[in-house]
Amino acid sequence: MHSISDILDELNALDRTGKAPYFRPRDAATLLVLDRGDDGALRVLMGKRHMRHKFMPGAWVFPGGRVDAVDSRVRAVDDYAPAVLDRLMVDMKGPKTPARARAFAIAAIRETWEEAGLMIGTAGDVASTASTEEDPHDAALAFAAHGLVPAIGAMRFVARAITPPGRPRRFDTRFFAISAQAIGAHAASGVGPSGELEDVAWVTFAEARARPELPPITKAVLAELDNRLIRDPAFGTDHPVPYYRWVRDRFVRTEI
């Protein structure tokens, strides 16, 4: 088991001398796709952010990004487990609606396609809100072309973290996880059409932690998920979710 106090100590030891103007955190979502190989080792899909990014350039991360307005209008074939939806609604900034909560999962699925070339959905007719132009970055259009509808029912809410003040970009990020075995239908075609991630690979948790480019909050989420799977190997839905945020002059961790 990983020590929560050690996780917090590492987060709070970071240099906080940045003095960027105050930015309100924007909603974001990230997806940890988990796969247990023939050797029994659990692996997660990760990649390296391009150096051109202003937010965490060169970092080794999970697929993910900002929630867009269109994400709340994309239909999924199923819905969250009730316990997952309830926890996503806790301390939600702005309108507290199930549609906004579902948009987090849709954004995570969309970003996973755009950044890693992996579609998470099941066969069906998608009610696309996409444009009619052939834009390979348009996830709704791409799903429709493959005859897939995004599926969110097997997704688990595993962590939430808000970027502290003083950073040039701030996000209120919901971290989801899903087992690759729970994906009803998917198309993997290497790195996704946006090219935002490079060196996309399936890595063990130990291999990920060994990367010097691993951000501390990403390391914290891996540790939290590791602890959760030790307590709950069945990966159920009714499990407290760690919530990291900046209060006064340090990170605090509560549970949702």
Tell me whether residue 139 is in a domain.
Answer: yes
Give the mean pLDDT of the chain.
86
pLDDT digits over 62-103, tens only? 999 999 988 998 889 999 999 999 999 999 988 899 999 999
Indicate the number of domains in the chain: 1
pLDDT digits over 145-190, tens only? 888 889 999 999 999 999 998 887 899 999 999 998 877 555 455 5
CA 71 to chain centre: 14
Look up residue 56 and give its two tokens.
Answer: 């965490």
Enclosing domain of residue 89:
25-248
Of 175, 155, 154, 184, nearest in space to 217 by CA: 175
Tell me whether residue 75 is in a domain.
Answer: yes
Tell me whether residue 256 is in a domain.
Answer: no
Angle 112-152-211 (CA atoms, 0-180°, nearest 5)?
A: 35
Q: Is residue 47 classed as helix, strand or coil in its secondary structure?
A: strand
**Alpha carbons 47 and 151: distance in angstroms, whole number:** 23
> DSSP string spanning 126-153?
------SS--TT-HHHHHHHTTEEE--T
CATH, residue 195 = 3.90.79.10
Tell me whether residue 253 is in a domain.
Answer: no
Tell me whether residue 173 is in a domain.
Answer: yes
Tell me whether residue 89 is in a domain.
Answer: yes
Tell me whether residue 1 is in a domain.
Answer: no
Tell me whether residue 208 is in a domain.
Answer: yes
